[in-house]
Amino acid sequence: MLTPLGIRPSFGFGDRLRLATPGHIAAVKGTRFSPVFAQQSVRENARIGRTLQQVINDARRAVDAAGLDSPWGADADHLKTVDDLAGFVDAGYTLFTVDPGDHVDN
């Protein structure tokens, strides 16, 4: 079930090609880790031509096909602007990773 994972030990996967999630599911089964299957940034999605909703839907289909009934998450990765947030919230992402890199004074 797609859900906020809280402080559970987790491991993030990013399936850029829509082919790897079944392998990610096999890798995490039987471990103590809660998987984060949908983990992509605005930049990555723009480069590969996927929408935020497609990423969630693809992960959900793979989870359903595998019969996985344990908690899993979805990471809105490398958020650089507040404007990027709404689309991830609307799509159902459960984790939000902020990237402050543009504001770090080297």
The pLDDT tens digits of the residues spanning 59-106 come to: 999 999 999 999 999 999 999 999 989 999 999 999 999 998 888 888
In angstroms, the CA 104 to CA 106 distance is 6
Residue 1 lies in a domain: no
Q: Are 10 and 34 in contact (CB under 8 A)?
A: yes
φ, ψ at 28 (rounded to 5°): -95, -20
Residue 37 lies in a domain: yes
Q: Are 100 and 82 in contact (CB under 8 A)?
A: no
Residue 44 lies in a domain: yes
Q: What is the pLDDT of residue 101?
A: 87
pLDDT > 70: percent of the chain: 100
Average pLDDT over residues 51-66: 95
pLDDT exceeds cutoff 90 at 15: no
Residue 4 lies in a domain: no
Q: What is the pLDDT of residue 51?
A: 92
Domain that holds residue 38: 10-103
Look up the pTM and report it. 0.88
pLDDT > 90: percent of the chain: 72
pLDDT exceeds cutoff 90 at 45: no
Residue 78 lies in a domain: yes
For the chain, what is the domain count? Answer: 1
Residue 17 lies in a domain: yes
